[in-house]
Chain A
Amino acid sequence: MARTELKLLGAWPSPYVMRPRIALNIKSVDYEFLQETFGSKSQLLLESNPVHKKIPVLIHKGKPICESLIIVEYIDETWSSGPSILPSDPYDRAIAKFWGAYVDEKWFPNLRILSTAEGEAKDQVIGTIVEGLDLLEDAFVKISKGKTFFGGGQIGYLDIAFGCYLGWLRASEKMSEVKLLDEAKTPGLAKWADTFSSHPAVKDVMPEVDKLVEYGKSLVAKYRAAKAASS
């Protein structure tokens, strides 16, 4: 595939941008990565995703596809001769999508809340995050059936959906000085996290934790400044 036929609009700290990058790596598909500058959106982004104006956006032969998990499904269906990302059984697919929606809607937002939480509120959100990880540990045990990944022997949809958050999970642990992913409590997930992060399709697109911590701290500082200014 000519590089010009496939572009991905994204930004290095975004977990959502990681998702199509991993999917394209799994399929061994080459693409042009266009980095958006934080704080200003390119003309191409505004034209390609006028509804949400958000990254990632995959542009394939001039046609844009938006929303990270929808992009992952598109990649799986379009490059169907490569390794499969979604399971083939309809029920297994539904389960993978269920947990993908769970991490996006219920679990990850708590990491953002944690970054600026203090005192009792901080303890409470830590509890929520850890409870979520317990649920995900159960899901991992059931879905992986003793294999390495949620997808079995290979990385699949749910590995990608949840695994993209590992960078920020580790960054949050450093920023808030708390252990969230505990191998004593969730041994399956702890092992999976290491294996996933070092997988060839993942390791080059997983942002470094220290860079995320630096970026995260700058976001928190901006939030606090804005809050102080408005009070």
Chain B
Amino acid sequence: MANAEVVLLDFWPSPFGMRVRIALAEKGIKYEYKEEDLQNKSALLLQMNPVHKKIPVLIHNGKPVAESLIAVQYIDEAWKDKAPLLPSDPYLRAQAKFWADFVDKKIYALGRKIWATKGEEQEAAKKEFIESLKLMEGKLGEKPYFGGESFGYVDVVLVPFYSWFYAYEVFGNFSIEAECPKLIQWAKRCSEKESVLKSLPDHKKVHGFVLELKKRLGIE
């Protein structure tokens, strides 16, 4: 497929946006990155994602694809000749999609509770968060990536949260590396890839963002 117009509506700290950035970089696709101010959403965003009004939105030849997992799958299919992200075997594909769905159901929501709550609620979130990461660590096993020998779909889906780990650790007062050393090794390995390096923000910047967000939301 020719690299016709590709635009990404995004917001720099969004782990969901990072997924799409990584996928585009893996495929070597040139695109226009448009930073959205979520407090003042652009007319283009509202037009391209009227149902949810959320980022990321991938726009390919004027046609919008919303929802990060759907966008990553779309990128994999539309540019199928380079760096395949999903495996070709139906059972392995189903497994990869299952774990991506698990990340969406658990990691983001629990991570949010870690920085946004205190006391019992926070402790419960931390516990479940670590349990979820351990489950994924177990799934990784001795492989270099969730995709096996090569970086794949589940890696793309999970690694953005690595840029948020520092913020979770500071606000949650715990060490993710102490609990899940193999997962941190995996994250560091992924971070050596140019596609990931280019797509993840500095974790101190993310921490600063969360501090400001907490102030704005009136959370202690």
Contacts and interface: CB of A to CB of B under 8 A. Distances in A.
A77 B88 CA distance: 10
Given A78-B90, A94-B70, A101-B67, 9 more contacts: A70-B94, A70-B97, A74-B91, A74-B94, A91-B65, A93-B74, A97-B67, A101-B70, A106-B51
Contacts of A70: 94, 97-98, 101
B94 A94 contact: no
Nearest to A80: B90
A208 to B, nearest CB: 31
A153 to B, nearest CB: 23
19 contacts: A63-B91, A65-B94, A66-B98, A70-B94, A70-B97, A70-B101, A74-B91, A77-B93, A90-B74, A91-B60, A93-B73, A93-B77, A94-B71, A94-B73, A97-B67, A98-B70, A101-B67, A102-B51, A135-B51
Contacts of A65: 91, 94, 98
A216 B65 CA distance: 36
A36 interface: no
Contacts of B91: 60, 63, 65, 74
Contacts of A66: 98
What size tier do the contact residues of chain A reach? 20 to 34
A97 B101 CA distance: 13
B220 to A, nearest CB: 29
A60 B91 CA distance: 9
Describe A's contact surface by its main secondary structure. helix
Contact of A71 (B71, B94, B102): B94
Contacts, number: 54
Nearest to B1: A90
A98 B67 contact: yes
A30 interface: no
Contacts of B97: 67, 70, 73
A51 B94 contact: no
B90 A94 contact: no
Given A51-B102, A91-B65, A135-B51, A73 B74 contact: no
B74 A91 contact: yes
A67 B101 contact: yes
Contacts of A102: 51
B94 A90 contact: no
A74 B90 contact: yes
Contacts of B60: 91
B73 A97 contact: yes
Nearest to B61: A91
Interface string A2-35: 0000000000000000000000000000000000
A59 B51 CA distance: 35
A90 B98 contact: no
B4 interface: no
Nearest first, the 4 closest Cβ-Cβ pairs linking A and B are A90-B77, A77-B90, A74-B94, A94-B74
B78 interface: yes
B135 A51 contact: yes
B93 A73 contact: yes
B187 interface: no
B66 interface: yes
B74 A67 contact: no
Interface string B118-158: 00000000000000000100000000000000000000000
Contacts of B66: 98
A97 B97 CA distance: 13
A90 B78 contact: yes
